[in-house]
Structure 1
Amino acid sequence: MSPAPNERDLIRAAMDRILGGTPERCNGALTIVALALEAGVPRNALTQRHTDLKKEFYDNVRARGDTPDSERRLRKQVRRLKELRAVDAVEIADLKADVEALVGALHQATTENQLLRQQLTERTAVLRPLPSQRQPEVSRPESRRPDTKFER
């Protein structure tokens, strides 16, 4: 009876099949997930126990002139994130400009409000409506007419 192959032998055989283009259990992708599936071992066997075989696999892939699928996906994601970052930078610049404009408008409104309040408290004359805004006077009996300080 022959001894059962150890994990390292299974991984090396799977590596040869994938790199040779004749995978039996996986889709032949140049990834650690596909290699683990092809070898029939858990993925953490490559990511934790046999990191030297993982490095060897990726070195062989690069030596062939291929880029591992994981690296292609990561490069694509990096490109997309850089584009999003550029869009975000433009949006942030626009928002900063809007904030500056709003702060200026708020400052102006606050200053005008303070001036108007100051003018209102400094007035000594009695405020009366303008002639165009006057309401027609309603005649009231003298006894019911309120006594106000505005009447002269």
Structure 2
Amino acid sequence: MSPALDERDRIRAAMDRIMAGAPQRSNGALTIVALAAEAGVPRNALTQRHLDLKNEFYAKVKERGQPTDAEVRLRKRIVKLKELREADRAELVELRADREVLVRIVNQLTLENRQLRQQLVAPGPVVRLLPTQPHPPGY
């Protein structure tokens, strides 16, 4: 399939609209996907046929001094991942401390269990009831 004759012109016009903040057919994001949608061309028109226009678009975005939408999204994701990593680290410290306490408790219970089992197996002293003698009067 050959590209339309006015494809480059439509891409340039779309680039101008997006950079002016007045998109008509896209969300106006500073991405190749939005540029392709705005121009009404497939994305591969920019990534395969018109690499110069793609590079020109990225250069204009860079000149503008604002990060692309993708960069903003990724930076937010990085912040969120760092927060999650810190929470995981704190939880790991807590779990390691809990593990030490639980190991001590298991050791103590094992020792007590062993002692109780030995008491059950070993004959213990036999308790005998001795007869009682009557107390003398006045005692």
TM-score, scaled to structure 2: 0.72
The answer for the alignment partner of 2:48 in structure 1 is 49
Query: Residue 116 of structure 2 aligns with which residue?
Result: 116
Q: CA deviation at 1:104?
A: 1.5
Change (3 A) 1:54 1:43: same
The separation in 2 between residues aligned to 1:74 and 1:51, in whole angstroms, is 26
Contact 1:14–1:39 under 8 Å retained in 2: yes
Q: Over aligned residues, Cα RMSD in angstroms? A: 2.7
Question: Is the 1:58–1:68 contact (alpha carbons within 8 Å) kept by the matching residues of 2?
Answer: no
- Paired with 2:126 and 2:94, the residues of 1 have a C-alpha distance of 48
The 1:22/1:5 distance shift into structure 2, 3 A limit, reads farther
Q: Is the 8 A contact 1:14 1:23 kept in 2?
A: yes
How far does the alpha carbon of each residue in 1:11-34 deviate from its partner, in whole angstroms, 9 at most, with x for none? Answer: 333223312334332232212232
Structure 1 contact 31–70 (Cα < 8 Å) conserved: yes
State the number of aligned residues.
125
How far apart are residue 110 of structure 1 and its match? 0.7
> 1:95-147: per-residue Cα shift (whole Å, max 9, x none)?
1211221121111101111122123322243479xxxxxxxxxxxxxxxxxxx
Once residues 103 and 82 of structure 1 are traced to their aligned partners in structure 2, the CA distance between those partners, rounded to angstroms, is 31
Quote how far apart the aligned CAs of 1:50 are: 5.1
User: Looking at both structures, which has the greater relative contact order when contacts are Cα pairs under 8 Å and sequence separation is at least 6?
Assistant: 2
Give the corresponding residue for 2:27. Answer: 27
1:1-152 paired onto structure 2 within 5 Å: 4-5=4-5, 7-46=7-46, 48-49=47-48, 52=51, 53-126=53-126
Aligned to 1:141: none
Higher helix proportion, which one?
2
Bigger drift between 93-102 and 73-82 goes to: 93-102
- Matched-pair identity in %: 58
Whole-angstrom distance in 2 between the partners of 1:110 and 1:127: 29
Runs of at least 5 residues in structure 1 that lack an aligned partner in the other structure: 129-152
Q: What TM-score, normalized to structure 1?
A: 0.67
